[in-house]
A and B are shown apart, each in its own frame.
Chain A
Amino acid sequence: MAKAKLESHHIEREWCKGCGICVAFCPKQVLELDRHEKAVAKRLDDCICCKLCEMRCPDLAIQVTCRKGSE
């Protein structure tokens, strides 16, 4: 099965308002809020490139780039 592989996970700090939506709904608990209440990708190795964080961010602060890989 072709599986997407993570190329980059970018969070625009200036746009993030710390709502926690991306953190709460990431299926792999990749994300956290830091002490400034900004989202950070803490465990990128676990990211499965589902892009749900990017799609649910109300501030359009997240950009996930994936490359089609094969297993």
Chain B
Amino acid sequence: MAVRDYLRERFFPHIWCPGCGHGVVLNSLLRTVEELGFTKNQIAVVSGIGCSSRISGYVDFHTLHTLHGRALAFATGLKLQKPDLRVIVPMGDGDALAIGGNHFLHAARRNIDLTAIVMNNRTYGMTGGQYSPLSGVGTAATTAPYGNIDPGFDTVRLAAAAGATFVARTTTYHVQQLVKILGEAIQHQGFSVVEVLSQCPTYFGRKNKAGSAVDMMRQFKDQTTPVGSEAKQGNPALIERGVFVREQRPEYCAAYDEVVRRAQGGR
């Protein structure tokens, strides 16, 4: 199947701004599903609210467009009921780690077999460029006109500490790596987190004088380095990308099935 066959073409051209990184994530996600050879009925995409969350409207899979911050809660219910579905949960940085931070931690702790994609544009795009828990100190936002004083989370370390069993990071510049990582994440049995640095030229870019979408993607190239590279030792400010955690731990739906079996006492 061609990538476009997985799209709901009737909603195109899509609503995202010119150069929005979220479109690149959509592009890579479809390419991943195509490469893995899944049919439309094998995939469910569950999202909350935000520019990023609109992704669920554009893909021709099973889709749920739910509440801001709550996508992982809905996805947990869906996965427990229909464990054969590959459930993918794309979220904004605000969606995933501000209002939805608690769901994120507990989904990781449970190691439920979902693929969480954190589309990190370091701002609340949909509501006009407020700062998020991933904006970082010194950035400008509509709610931080004199500079943000809130330190940012490190999504990778947070996810790993909470118990996610597959954790990776890449950017919209590194599309080949993005497809590879998404493929591994979707096939991983357990909670997978993929952070994707994604450009919001309209708010984060403008507020922080980061230039055009092209400029912002060049910054992703220049400001990141493969995990474990020597470059990081010379320049600690570089952001590492690649796979950070890849481990096996009992998966939540399987553990729950075991409880059901015990409760039924072999009946």
Task: Assess whether B12 is interfacial by the CB under 8 Å rule.
Answer: yes
A31-65: CB near B (< 8 Å → 1, else 0) gives: 00000000000000000000010011111100100
Given A19-B214, A21-B19, does the pair A59, B14 have CB atoms closer than 8 Å? yes
Residue of B2, B12, B212, B217 near A25 (CB, 8 A) is: B217
* Chain B residues, CB < 8 A from A18: 18
Residue of B2, B31, B172, B213 near A20 (CB, 8 A) is: B213
B223-238: CB near A (< 8 Å → 1, else 0) gives: 0000000000000000
* Chain A residues, CB < 8 A from B31: 55
Task: Assess whether B20 is interfacial by the CB under 8 Å rule.
Answer: yes
Measured CB to CB, the closest approach of chain B to A31, in angstroms, equals 12
Measured CB to CB, the closest approach of chain B to A45, in angstroms, equals 24
* Chain B residues, CB < 8 A from A20: 19, 212-214
Task: Determine chain B's interface SS by DSSP, over half rule.
Answer: helix
Residue of A14, A19, A24, A58 near B27 (CB, 8 A) is: A58
A1-45: CB near B (< 8 Å → 1, else 0) gives: 000000000000011011111001100000000000000000000
Given A14-B13, A21-B19, A60-B23, does the pair A55, B217 have CB atoms closer than 8 Å? no
Measured CB to CB, the closest approach of chain A to B3, in angstroms, equals 7
* Chain B residues, CB < 8 A from A57: 23-24, 27
Measured CB to CB, the closest approach of chain A to B174, in angstroms, equals 10
**CB-based contact B176/A55 at 8 Å:** yes
**CB-based contact A60/B213 at 8 Å:** no
Residue of A15, A19, A24, A63 near B13 (CB, 8 A) is: A15
Task: Assess whether B79 is interfacial by the CB under 8 Å rule.
Answer: no
Residue of A17, A58, A60 near B3 (CB, 8 A) is: A60
Residue of A15, A24, A56, A63 near B172 (CB, 8 A) is: A56
Measured CB to CB, the closest approach of chain B to A4, in angstroms, equals 15
Given A24-B214, A60-B26, A63-B4, does the pair A19, B19 have CB atoms closer than 8 Å? yes
The size of the chain A interface, using a CB distance under 8 A, is 17
Task: Assess whether B36 is interfacial by the CB under 8 Å rule.
Answer: no
Measured CB to CB, the closest approach of chain A to B36, in angstroms, equals 16
Task: Assess whether B69 is interfacial by the CB under 8 Å rule.
Answer: no
Task: Assess whether B241 is interfacial by the CB under 8 Å rule.
Answer: no
Docked CA distance A58–B30 (Å): 12
Docked CA distance A7–B12 (Å): 25
**CB-based contact A19/B213 at 8 Å:** yes
**CB-based contact B12/A15 at 8 Å:** yes
Measured CB to CB, the closest approach of chain A to B181, in angstroms, equals 14
Q: Give A contacts to B, CB under 8 Å.
A: 14-15, 17-21, 24-25, 52, 55-60, 63
Contact sample, A vs B, 19 pairs, CB 8 Å cutoff: A14-B12, A15-B12, A17-B17, A17-B18, A19-B212, A19-B214, A20-B19, A21-B19, A21-B214, A25-B173, A55-B176, A57-B23, A58-B19, A58-B21, A58-B24, A58-B27, A58-B213, A59-B12, A63-B4
List 13 additional contacts besides A55-B27, A56-B173, A58-B22; criterion CB under 8 Å: A15-B13, A18-B18, A19-B212, A55-B176, A56-B24, A56-B172, A57-B27, A58-B18, A58-B19, A58-B24, A58-B172, A59-B13, A60-B30
